[in-house]
Amino acid sequence: MSNYLDELSEIQREAVTNTEGPSLVIASAGSGKTRVLTYRIAHLLTIGVKPWSIMALTFTNKAAREMKERIAKIVGQETASKLWMGTFHSIFAKILRSEAEHLGYDRNFTIYDTTDSKNLITQIIKELKLDAQSYKPGEILSRISLAKNNLITPQAYSQNASIIQQDVRARKGEIHRIYTLYAQRCKKASAMDFDDLLLNTNVLFRDFPDVLQKYQERFRYFLVDEYQDTNFSQYLIVKKLSERHRNLCVVGDDAQSIYSFRGAKIENILNFQNDYKDYRLFKLEQNYRSTQTIVNAANSVIAKNEKQIPKIAYSSNEEGEKIKLISAYTDQEEGFLIASEILNIVHQTHCNYSDIAILYRTNAQSRIFEETLRKRNIPYRIYGSLSFYQRKEIKDLLAYIRITVNPNDDEAFRRVVNYPARGIGNTTMGHLQELANQQGLSLWQTVGVLGNTTGAIKPAAVKKLDDFRNLIISFQQKIYNQDAYEAVYHIANASGLISDLKADKSQEGISRLQNIEEMLNGIREFIEGRKAEGYEETVTLVDYLENVALLTDQDTDKDEDNNRVSVMTVHSAKGLEFDYVFLTGLEENLFPSTMSISSAEDIEEERRLFYVALTRAAKKAFISYAQTRFRWGTSTNCSPSRFIKEIDPQYIEASFDENQWESSSPQNTRQNFTQRSYYNKPSTQNVASTNPKANSATISTPPKNLKDIAPADIRIGMKVYHAKFGDGIVENIEGDGPNRKAMVNFRMAGSKNLLLKFANLKKVD
Ligand SMILES: Nc1ncnc2c1ncn2[C@@H]1O[C@H](COP(=O)(O)OP(=O)(O)OP(=O)(O)O)[C@@H](O)[C@H]1O
Ligand SMILES: [Mg+2]
């Protein structure tokens, strides 16, 4: 066993070894909070605590997996695999399955993802004949989610005059009806959405004290990471469960609370201090992740927030490079400049692509990065846009699996009843839904009793529905004696899904088929993983489905193609770290977002978000903004974000002498800008300007007399131009073909050794 305690600072060690009673670790980013949790668990196991009596709650499954791996190295795989460690959703889904009967649910209940929930809400809005303009499914779902996370049931919602009034004022006075129907339908379909997993856990513990007591006895130690982003529902679960043994350790950073829009409450930290008067407080002050420059820069920004718990954060790492500002003329150019910068970093530092991240405020920004990175052959992985499990063909196959396991799953039913085509059209489905509503049954149950009713559905359609039902019944007969792989393989074929995809010979069709194959591979891996953990029974479809329903985008990492630039929203980067981080789209109305700029409170949350983004960087941060950006279909002028101005300027790279630069390029070719963009370094002064045009003077312009030249034709002594480094003289050449390199002495940037296939040098005539 390694002497793991040596890998901690003194204060961290104290937080790790003081295992009894309530503890609160409040500390800023990168100070080792997650490390403390990890080592605390390892320590508990080392001193003899049983793994199944420890519950550790993380924000992503990925974080849980990484912690588990680290713990396994200290105490061994077998012990580590018995820990109850995962996200709130995955841990309590597991508990709810064991206790489902108490709540009137089937233990094979389905977990609806956001798309399922939105589809169901759309359906309800239609049935209630509400105006689609004022009732947008996404918005309604957020509202319902917020209610659930504050433990407001449909009934309580309908009876709460102030909530109803608020809805009426927003011209959405019927939300309570939607919520009520939505909850009924989910229940009937034996489905829970993500928020239900927490809500129903609370209901379970409230209404069944003996069940609560059982878990209170069983779990003796509780650990919660990212505590600042827990919502009321989560807070209450932890509070109740830990009441018996009171060994609760939570770690968090109020400056990183970024989920208030989903109901997270910073107050949970303050509540902790009230709930456990005898708590121990540990303050970690040293940042081990980032350079001094990054830590100081981040401190200078977050200091502008009024609401915060005072903290010290310093770094003893090297001072590091200053933050680099990248000013782009357009959003397209921003993508190009970042791609060039990435190639440069990799070329100069020999780091991996996976050490680099591009972060943005909104998912819509991902498209441009996707395009520009692809054009430059930079491997990347986009998190959160259309993730693997959101693709149509994957959702189709999953729907077959879901309905096989839980036939009352109405959303899955609707999705595949007529795919591949079986001649069951909208009219039939409309009638079926009506019948189901009348009788209070799921669609599946309704098909089961169709034979007894003579009604709107014609006998031919009844027959088709029956055939579909029989098909699913035939699948059900397989799932308990076959392993998950065999069962899914059978379902994919027998449902007709594979032959439907095979019939489509287009590139898209082929890639869909490959995705199905990939999913089957994933199932194989899942089964093997379970076996490696010591699971002795057959790994069934039910086991697999449970795992898949709770996957987030960050969890679908595959080892073999891990060397990629990570591209994601700031929200999903929480808790992660990268050597080089690009913070992009730093413009007013984007970051901070339009929605937030009218309220001081919301601005503080945006500032925290910026703080989270900046503190992901270990070695160097880059901040970019564009002066014009395509938004809502038109090119919009943008001004640099206030957050850039809030960084103490001493931590931002100073601009070089503009005049000297301009003299070599007398003509400003700005108006002729095309996608072949040119690099520029704005001065901090100009950045502070809110007039987008004010920056144009700082944009470096290339000499006029540039010629394209092939790498093979570049010679020693030639005068060349590089988009970032400007003009220079080739001093040496070595290597051939794709390895041909040139040493260029740039007038402004000094000597650089460049791989010619990437450098894109132009000849200056
Ligand atoms: N005592 C230490 N010695 C060496 N490295 C450390 C030490 N403590 C933490 N680290 C390293 O510092 C980095 C940040 O630690 P960690 O991720 O635990 O911080 P955190 O407080 O959880 O950050 P965040 O608030 O961003 O979640 C990690 O790479 C971790 O391994
Ligand atoms: Mg952490």
ipTM for this model: 0.99
Fold of 10-100+199-282: Rossmann fold (3.40.50)
* Bridging pattern class, strands 741-746 and 750-755: antiparallel
Task: For ligand 1, pick from 288, 309, 609 the residue to mutate: most ligand atoms within 8 Å of CB.
Answer: 288
Which amino acid, one-letter code, is at 56? A
Residue 594 DSSP one-character state: G
**CB-defined site of ligand 1, < 6 Å:** 8-9, 12, 27, 29-35, 253, 256, 288-289, 575, 577, 615
CA 614 to centroid of ligand 2, rounded, Å: 14
CA 382 to centroid of ligand 1, rounded, Å: 25
pLDDT for 670: 30
Residue nearest to atom 9 of ligand 1 (CA): 32
Residue nearest to atom 4 of ligand 1 (CA): 288
Rounded to 10 degrees, the C-alpha dihedral 224/230/234/240 comes to 60
The residues pairing with 26 across neighbouring beta strands, listed in sequence order, are: 252, 283
Q: Which residues contact 467 (CB under 8 A, 6 or more apart)?
A: 422
Residue in the structure block whose two tokens are 């059978």: 490
* Residue 365 main-chain phi, psi, to 5 deg: -70, -10
Q: Which two tokens stand for residue 440?
A: 């209070």
pTM of the model: 0.77
pLDDT for 690: 32
pLDDT for 53: 97
Binding residues for ATP: 27-34
* Bridging pattern class, strands 726-734 and 719-722: antiparallel
Using alpha carbons only, what angle is made at residue 64 by residues 58 and 70, rounded to the nearest 5 degrees? 130
User: Measured from the CA of 37, which atom of ligand 1 is nearest?
Assistant: 18
pLDDT for 287: 97
* Bridging pattern class, strands 762-764 and 706-708: antiparallel
pLDDT for 454: 60
Superfamily of domain 388-548 in CATH is PCRA; domain 4 (1.10.486.10)
What is the enclosing helix (H) or strand (E) of 512? helix 507-532
Top CATH class of 314-385+558-653 equals: alpha beta
Q: Quickly list H helices, 541-634.
A: 541-549, 600-614
Residue (of 410, 400, 443, 384) closest to 545 by Cα position: 400
| Distant-in-sequence contacts of 361-365, Cβ < 8 A, 24+ apart | 361/569, 361/570, 361/585, 361/590, 361/591, 361/593, 361/609, 362/569, 362/585, 362/590, 362/593, 363/569, 365/331, 365/584, 365/585
Q: Which CATH architecture has domain 110-189?
A: Orthogonal Bundle (1.10)
Residue 54 DSSP one-character state: E
Residue 350: CB atoms within 10 Å: 7
CA distances from 293 to 316, 318, 348, 358, 614 (A): 11, 8, 21, 19, 11
Fold of 706-764: Thrombin, subunit H (2.40.10)
User: Measured from the CA of 288, which atom of ligand 1 is nearest?
Assistant: 12
591: helix, strand or coil: coil
What is the enclosing helix (H) or strand (E) of 58? strand 54-58
Q: Quickly list H helices, 615-730.
A: 642-646, 658-663, 684-687
Residue nearest to atom 8 of ligand 1 (CA): 32
Q: Which two tokens stand for residue 89?
A: 């959703």
The domain locations on the chain are 10-100+199-282, 110-189, 314-385+558-653, 388-548, 706-764
pLDDT for 699: 29
* Residue 295 main-chain phi, psi, to 5 deg: -60, -45
Residue nearest to atom 28 of ligand 1 (CA): 289
For the chain, first and last CA: distance in Å? 66
* Prior bond of 592 cis (ω within 30°): yes
Query: Whole-angstrom Cα distance, residue 214 to residue 652?
Result: 56
Which amino acid, one-letter code, is at 734? E
CA 312 to centroid of ligand 1, rounded, Å: 15
Query: Whole-angstrom Cα distance, residue 216 to residue 225?
Result: 20
CA 282 to centroid of ligand 2, rounded, Å: 15
706-764 matches 10-100+199-282 in CATH topology: no
Query: Whole-angstrom Cα distance, residue 278 to residue 269?
Result: 14
Residue (of 100, 110, 145) closest to 411 by Cα position: 110
425: helix, strand or coil: coil
Residue 652 DSSP one-character state: B
CA 30 to centroid of ligand 1, rounded, Å: 5
**Which residues does the chain have with pLDDT short of 70?**
1-2, 384-387, 452-454, 551-561, 632-633, 654-703, 748
408: helix, strand or coil: coil
Task: For ligand 1, pick from 12, 34, 311 the residue to mutate: most ligand atoms within 8 Å of CB.
Answer: 34
User: Measured from the CA of 8, which atom of ligand 1 is nearest?
Assistant: 1
